Amino acid sequence: MAGKYSNSLRQMEWVKGNAVGSGSFGTVNLAMNKSNGELFAVKSASSGSGFQSLENEADILKNLNSPYIVRYLGHDVSDEANGEQTFNLFMEFMAGGSLSDITKKFGGALDESVIRSYTRGILHGLAYLHRSRIVHCDLKCKNVLLGSSGDIRLADFGGAKRLNSSKANTNSKNFWQSMCGTPLWMAPEVLRNEGLDFASDIWSLGCTVIEMATGSPWGDEVSNPMAAVYKIACSDETPQLPPNFSAEGLDFLRKCLQRNPTSRWSSEELLSHPFVSGNTSGKYSSKEYAYSPTSVLDDRGWESDGSESPIAEELPARMPFLKRCTKEERQMTKHQTQIDIAASEWVDVRSG
């Protein structure tokens, strides 16, 4: 398939190559600039929900500029022979594929030293998004791309939300149509339809770190999707932590996987955590560290990646954590979770 790639700067002739991945809607193909042989990736979708998802992703990406976010190159809309229109989103090509691919290729689990490095890159990307008032909403290994030199890029922004947009409000009767994400990585408060905030991404980050370490965010604890959604939403449980992780790694995960979203550390705070910063000055005590975050904040510094700068104003307070589910709420949650999820496979839930 050939077409024209256009944005405000230029036009070019391009041709679509083999598929290199798939998303919630449509496929991702390798593509080539016919004039100079430049390679890039094109994500295409023609269905109604897929078209809207890519439109949202293009709208989000075109305003972002960070070495930790996949680079937007433009988009076009093509007319197909069957009368449908196809939305094509052009992005930089990441030769390493996704972290999910990498984890599977290296035995289903990565070394902790590698996880530390990848997690630091993911956090830089999240910190940039959150300063831009954007919640990714679907952070997981499949949506983190890797370059050949180990550079990390966050990708797949089809379900991302701007907190100053009415679209970010998930409190509606059509919750399952308006929510986004993949259930095993989703925060409890999101599954309970209590709202969406930056802290939701932090819970997903913890699940993603566990996924890199074990191959799955919840391990073998949840085999039935419907039971898993109920468990994550209304129990007091958290994912099982990797048994061979260091004290720093376990403490980092505890900072992410607090069921009360107001107790989770922010992306900026986590960048100063010894698990990713490498700053282990003084005797480390996971118990003491876990209950004294002031000791980190008092010594926190800003590390710039060259394209990002801190902002003076504090981020708005997170949405308060509501009470534990009552019997009636559990029945309501159980009713809401009657969604079409195959028992053998987890699927993404996207805005329609």
Longest dimension (CA), the chain: 67
Residue 23's nearest CA partner among 125, 91, 114 is: 91
Helix (H) or strand (E) holding 256: helix 247-256
Tell me how far apart the alpha carbons of residues 332 and 346 are, in angstroms, rounded to a whole number.
22
Query: With the C-alpha atoms ordered 313, 314, 315, 319, is the resulting torsion angle positive or negative?
Result: negative
211: nearest Cα among 100, 122, 121: 100
b/e 189-205 (16+ beta carbons within 10 angstroms → b)? bbbbbbbbbbbbbbbbb
Q: Any idea what the Cα angle at residue 203 is, between residues 197 and 207, rounded to 5°? A: 145
Tell me the two tokens of residue 195. 């709202």
Helical pair 112-131 and 247-256, crossing angle rounded to 10 deg? 30
Q: Are 160 and 57 in contact (CB under 8 A)?
A: yes
Contact criterion met (CB below 8 Å) for 90 and 16? no
CA 96/CA 77 separation, integer angstroms = 28
Q: Which residues are catalytic?
A: 138
Structure tokens given for 139: 């952070």
CA distance 314 to 7: 35
Burial class (CB in 10 A: 0-12, 13-18, 19+), 282: exposed
